[in-house]
A and B are shown apart, each in its own frame.
Chain A
Amino acid sequence: MSAVLASDLAASAPRPRQGSALRRRAAAWLAQGAAIVAFIALWHAAAATHARLGIVSFENVPTPLAALEAGRDLVDSGKLGRHLGFSLWRVGAGFLSAAALGVTLGLAIGRFHAARRALLPPLELLRPIPAVAWIPLAILMFPSTELSMVFITFVGALFPVLLNTIHGVEGVDRRLVASARSLGAGRWAMFAQVILPAAAPSIATGMAIGMGTCWFCLVSAEMISGQFGIGYYTWESYTLQNYGGIVVGMLVIGLLGMGCSALIRGAARIAMPWARTETAR
């Protein structure tokens, strides 16, 4: 049995690196880097020559260097922190409230027929409405534009979290539930010890998707109303004809969305150590 143990430990430890594997990896990195450089070079060529390609025109598209300059201006202006702070706050508040409500409702709907009958029909009615379509009504409903923007991001994240939680709860192996009952689990323990952890991978997926839609909705909301925020900055750059700033805003939004999704994935990995080992053997 100690032999089994040793081989298992070896499987979960990082593999010893071999020269050829390292070289292959380096080649792959090099190819990927070259592709990105080529893309930027094409962008530069199109923007610098003000190319007109049929229906697409690069006449007013800033060059990579112009974008870089606009980025430096943004940093020098000292406003970057405020733009980021406002956007992150809105996404954070909207996402966290959506996650809390989505998981709670999802657990109830997935587990109790009464909750399903009472809650699912109205939610299904609201679901096809894109969060962005809520913007005018949200402005009317909330006392401040700040809260209405948070509400938009909340709507964006709610449905992915809710639907994936329901899906996860419905997918719980009923033999696990039966075993837990046979082992003496009561109603509350069943929720906390069995249903929630069993649905956790699905919930994490919902949250990762929800985080993406959160950013999507935030930027739309900020473009329409707001004084700060990275979406607002992007739209302001357009109205002020600071075309380099548009690209800077786009890139920052992309990076923030990517970072937040990575954060969710990292948190899920820490919260679900058992899911990591499944492929280790």
Chain B
Amino acid sequence: MTATLGRIDIEHVHMEVGEGAGRFEALHDVSLRLEPGEFVCLLGPSGCGKSTLLGALAGHLAPARGTVRVECMAVDGPDPRRGLVFQQHTLFPWLRVIDNVAFGLKMKGVGRASRHARAHALLESVGLAGFEMRWPSQLSGGMQQRVEIARVLINEPHVLLMDEPFGALDALTRSRMQQLLLEVWERFRTTVVFVTHDIDEALFLADRLLVMSARPGRIVEDRRLDFARPREATLVTSHEFVALKRHCLQLLHGGEVDTPLPRMTPLGPPIATS
């Protein structure tokens, strides 16, 4: 792996979302460098602009000022090398699980047999062997997100962008999915940018924690997390973990915004249908 594969440089990025009079500054002067293979969690209250930043990395939103570069190239639109996972799955309901996973390879013109072989292997690695011929609607929420992750991974992305991917799952499934994600990440070693407002989740997953303040969003803390890997579920009860969690709680509640802001998405302002 060369030094720049999956590296992200964010320089003085300002972002605005909304139309007309409703337009506002969602991000104010954010500068960051994310190293290759780093697992970064963006933690912040709802509406603080973390999803907006993710949208800029994915190429679905353009910064008002500043530049976003991935592997030294300015982001100018979506790209299969930057995989995006939403909070609610976006599997195509008209494709069977295996064809959903193989979609990226089909777009590259890979033949049916070899793309199915690759998709099958990936489904196996997320624990869904045997579910190839199901329709997405026949799977549970956790399974749908696993298919979603497999579908993104088939493009061998250097960067994995995740927007509260486990936010809609129940606590037990969520904790299993976090373990699974870490296992997958150990194997693929992509740079991960993981957006969440769940402190436990952020601390459990990340190498590096970025805490954001509410509107306009700014990075208020940039901290390395040195908990040993592989991480066990019991980590969340350890003394250091709890101390850090208390610290994060103080950071998040220090802001003067009392009323929760509407959740934004990597595609802009909140979507009415979801």
A residues apposed to B, CB below 8 Å: 1-2, 5, 8, 173-176, 178-186, 189, 193-194, 197-198, 200, 272-275, 277-278, 280-281
Contact status A182-B130, CB under 8 Å = no
Inside 8 A of A175's CB, which chain B residues have their CB? 86, 88, 90, 265, 267, 271, 274
Q: Which residues of A contact B83 (CB under 8 A)?
A: 182
List residues of chain B with CB within 8 A of the CB of A272: 94
Chain B residues touching A, majority SS: loop
Interface stretch (choices B16-24, B100-108, B231-239): B100-108
Instruction: Kindly identify, within residues 239 to 274 of chain B, every residue whose CB is under 8 Å from any CB belonging to chain A.
Output: 265-267, 271, 273-274
Which of B28-36, B74-82, B181-189 is near enough to bind chain A?
Answer: B74-82
**Which residues of chain A have C-beta atoms less than 8 A from B137's C-beta?**
274, 277-278, 281
Q: Which residues of B contact A184 (CB under 8 A)?
A: 79-80, 104, 107-108, 155
CB distance from A9 to the nearest CB of B (A): 10
> Any chain A CB within 8 A of the CB of B53?
no
13 contacting pairs across A/B (C-beta < 8 A): A1-B130, A173-B273, A175-B265, A178-B60, A178-B90, A181-B77, A182-B152, A189-B107, A197-B92, A198-B92, A272-B94, A274-B94, A274-B95
Query: Given contacts A8-B138, A272-B94, A277-B137, is CB(A182)–CB(B80) below 8 Å?
Result: yes
Report whether B138 and A173 are in contact in the complex, using a CB–CB cutoff of 8 Å: no
Q: B108–A179 contact, CB under 8 A?
A: no
Q: CB-nearest residue of chain A relative to B94?
A: A197
A182 contacts B138, C-beta separation under 8 Å:
no
Given contacts A189-B107, A194-B92, A280-B138, contact A179 B80 (CB under 8 A): no
Instruction: Give min CB distance, A204 to chain B, whole Å.
Output: 12
Within the complex, the shortest CB–CB distance from A202 to chain B, in Å, comes to: 13
A-contacting residues, B199-223, CB 8 Å = none
> In the complex, A49→B13 CA distance in Å?
88
Q: B93 an interface residue at 8 Å Cβ cutoff? A: yes
Asked whether, in the complex, the Cβ of B80 is within 8 Å of the Cβ of A183, the reply is: yes
Complex Cα gap A2–B128 (Å): 11
Distance between Cα atoms of A280 and B139 in the complex (Å): 12
New contact pairs (17) apart from A182-B59, A277-B137, CB-CB < 8 Å: A2-B130, A5-B131, A174-B271, A175-B267, A175-B271, A175-B274, A178-B58, A180-B92, A181-B77, A182-B82, A183-B80, A183-B151, A183-B152, A183-B155, A184-B155, A185-B103, A278-B93
- Closest CB of chain B to A170's CB: distance in Å? 12
Shortest beta-carbon distance from B133 to chain A in Å: 11
**Residue contact A181 to B78, C-beta cutoff 8 Å:** yes
Q: Let me know if B107 and A185 touch, CB within 8 A.
A: yes
Give every chain B residue within 8 A of A182 (Cβ-Cβ): 58-60, 78-80, 82-84, 152
Q: With A5-B130, A182-B82 as given contacts, are A176 and B92 in contact (CB-CB < 8 Å)?
A: yes
Minimum CB–CB distance for A107 against chain B, Å: 16
The listed residue (B93, B107, B267) touching A178 by CB distance below 8 A is: B267
When chains A and B are docked, how far (Å) is the Cα of A147 from the Cα of B65? 61
* Chain A residues within an 8 Å CB radius of B92: 176, 180, 193-194, 197-198
Asked whether A277 lies within 8 Å of B80 as measured between CB atoms, the reply is no
Give chain B nearest CB distance to A188 CB in angstroms: 11
Residues of chain B with a CB closer than 8 A to A183's CB:
80, 103-104, 107, 151-152, 155
Give A31 to B266 CA distance when docked, in angstroms: 57
- The CA of A8 and the CA of B137, in the complex, are separated in Å by 12
CB distance from A30 to the nearest CB of B (A): 37
Task: Tell me how far the C-beta of B154 lies from the nearest C-beta in chain A, rounded to whole angstroms.
Answer: 9
Closest chain-B Cβ to A113's Cβ sits at a distance in Å of 16
- Report B-chain residues with C-beta under 8 Å of the C-beta of A173: 90, 273
State in angstroms the CA–CA spacing of A185 and B79 once bound together.
9
CA distance A180 to B106 in the complex (A): 11
CA distance A142 to B135 in the complex (A): 48
**Residue numbers in B under 8 Å from A274 (CB-CB):** 93-95, 135, 137
Which residue on chain B has the smallest CB distance to residue A176?
A: B90
Task: Return the chain A residue nearest B127 by Cβ.
Answer: A1
Q: Which residues of B contact A193 (CB under 8 A)?
A: 92, 103, 106
**Please, how many angstroms separate the alpha-carbon atoms of A197 and B135 in the complex?**
14
Q: Which residues of B contact A189 (CB under 8 A)?
A: 107
Whether B138 contacts A179 by the Cβ 8 Å rule is no
CA separation between A275 and B95, bound complex, in Å? Answer: 11
- Which residues of the partner chain A approach B107 to less than 8 Å between Cβ atoms? 183-186, 189
- A198 and B94: CB pair below 8 A? yes
Q: Tell me the nearest residue of chain B to A175, going by C-beta.
A: B90
Nearest opposing residue in chain A for B90, CB measure: A179
Residue numbers in A under 8 Å from B127 (CB-CB): 1
Do A200 and B94 form a contact, CB below 8 Å, given A179-B84, A182-B84, A281-B138?
A: yes
In the bound complex, residues from chain A placing their C-beta under 8 Å from that of B95 are 274
Q: A190 to nearest B CB, angstroms?
A: 10
Query: In the complex, A178 Cα to B78 Cα: how many Å?
Result: 8
Bound-state Cα–Cα, A183 to B107, Å: 8
Inter-chain CA distance A53–B257, complex, in Å, is 74
Interface centre among B83, B93, B137 (most CB of A within 10 A): B93
B190 to chain A, nearest CB (A): 14
CA distance A273 to B273 in the complex (A): 25
